[in-house]
A and B are shown apart, each in its own frame.
Chain A
């Protein structure tokens, strides 16, 4: 079983739609949780950290359920510029980040 699992997609949604991504992780000792965004042929960039209390940044909302070992990302009112691959990332030892496979999102005009 992979340490971090995501639906690879691709997701194709119209502009303005709401889209949700889910992710599960296997190591209950995980300490930090993130969503990274990666544009085609570019490096990953931090989109947001994820906390148990849930956190929101504009149109983006992230949730963490430690009991279920489940992380989610919700994008509201999607824009063309949101088209990218979204990577679920977990850290349980300071040494490394564990990435999911990534979910590819395309926003259509």
Chain B
């Protein structure tokens, strides 16, 4: 296994609600990235955190926000949920903010918005 764990594994929310997803990165990894994967699509980059600071953001609205903690674990928060937010949310950790050699993914959180 990758050593990256995400919680919860599945979640059902109602449109308009808020959700928090959590990720524990692999030991020694200080960089965490979040991705959204809609059904039948490849993962799309949401943002990255490096040493508790946001370091790059994809084409997602401000209602997608995040945090990284001193132990390098991370949260993804989504406000005012929309039906199109239904997707698999993946967290990936890597050892440093350098040219990537490999990202280690967690098993994902499958979010359904009804």
Bound-state Cα–Cα, A102 to B43, Å: 9
B contact patch SS: loop
Bound-state Cα–Cα, A96 to B92, Å: 10
Which chain B positions have C-beta within 8 A of A32? 99-101
Which chain B positions have C-beta within 8 A of A46? 102-103
Contact present for B42 and A87 (CB under 8 Å) = yes
Contact present for B108 and A43 (CB under 8 Å) = yes
Contact present for B100 and A97 (CB under 8 Å) = yes
Contact present for B105 and A99 (CB under 8 Å) = no
Contact present for A101 and B105 (CB under 8 Å) = no
Q: Mark B47-60, 1 if CB is under 8 A from A, else 0.
A: 01000000110100
CB contact list, A44-73 vs B, under 8 A: 44-46, 49
Candidates B35, B55, B88, B102; contact of A95 at CB < 8 Å: B55
Contact present for A43 and B44 (CB under 8 Å) = no
Contact present for A96 and B33 (CB under 8 Å) = yes
Q: Return the chain A residue nearest B92 by Cβ.
A: A97
Interface residues of B (CB under 8 A from A): 2, 33, 35, 40-45, 48, 55-56, 58, 88, 90, 92, 97-103, 105-108, 110
Interface residues of A (CB under 8 A from B): 4, 8, 31-32, 34, 41-46, 49, 87, 91, 93-102
